[in-house]
Amino acid sequence: MKESYEQEMLKTQIEIRDQTMKDVGRELHDHIGQVLTVIKINLGQLNSKGLDTPNEDRLTGTKDLVGSVIQDLRSLSKTLNGDLIKQVGLVESIAHELNRINKLDLVRCHLEVEGEPFVMPTEKEFVAFRIVQENLNNILKHSRSSNVFTKLTYAANSFTLYQKDDGVGFNINEVSNSNTGSGLLNMQRRSELVNADLQISSQQGIGTQLTLKMNISQT
């Protein structure tokens, strides 16, 4: 009964966190996105009224910059809202997230898919996607890496997610026992919810490797 209670509490906590991310994503899209769109329209109207060449160039550049922010905002909104997985599938969702990171020009993300992708239960695909997001967040914040390699392997009755960076690495025991280890704990908890096996290894000066394995019963 204790294990069942703890599992249910864990599931509730993660569901609340995911719902919060969805709400933030919708707010970004519905409110801030609309405001930026109005600003872009107003800039376009000003530009059409005629300005001297330096100011016209400056206004055009500002309009283009706002347009770029709108696109980035829509992209971020989609990744915060898990509905993207239902629309395009896990592979495309992960590719979308990696491309979004590449646009930041902070680290270079690479993706490889092995085997024939198949649709997994929604909760498993959702967990895999959130773990990718959490791990990428950790990489951007701490790893100081130049490259991130992601490999998705689809086998007869299993799915494996492998992600590796070439960053500075860290001492897992030290991080796990500190206040900064919440990201690792979140990923571990998510994997437990769908009975997946998550392994994270790291060496200082070499980088970090993450492996998520899921057993899949295809019918």
Tokens 């025991």 locate to: 173
pLDDT number for residue 179: 58
Q: Which fold has domain 89-215?
A: Heat Shock Protein 90 (3.30.565)
**pLDDT at residue 152, rounded to an integer:** 97
pTM passes above 0.85: no
Listed by start position, the domains of the chain span 2-80, 89-215
Beta strands in the chain (DSSP E): 108-114, 147-154, 158-165, 197-203, 207-215
pLDDT at 67: 73
Nearest to 161 by CA among 194, 183, 204: 194
Q: Which two tokens stand for residue 40?
A: 């872009």
Longest dimension (CA), the chain: 75
| pLDDT at residue 22, rounded to an integer | 60
Specify the pLDDT at position 163: 97
Digitized pLDDT (tens) for each residue of the chain, 219 residues in all:
556 645 555 555 555 556 555 655 555 555 566 666 666 666 666 656 665 666 666 677 777 777 766 666 666 566 555 566 778 889 998 998 898 889 878 899 999 999 999 999 888 888 898 899 889 888 988 899 999 999 999 999 999 999 999 999 998 888 766 655 667 888 888 888 888 999 999 988 899 999 999 998 754
How far does CA 89 lie from the centroid of its chain? 14
85 C-beta neighbours (distance < 10 Å), count: 22
Which residues on neighbouring strands pair with residue 20, listed in sequence order? none
CA 213 to CA 219: how far, in whole Å?
19
How confident is the model at residue 97, as a pLDDT? 86
Residues 166, 78, 149, CA angle at the centre, nearest 5°? Answer: 15
**Number of helices followed by number of strands (H, E) in the chain:** 8, 5
Provide φ and ψ at 213, rounded to 5°. -120, 135
* pLDDT of 196: 93
**Average pLDDT of every residue of the chain:** 78
Cβ–Cβ under 8 Å, residues 206 and 169: yes
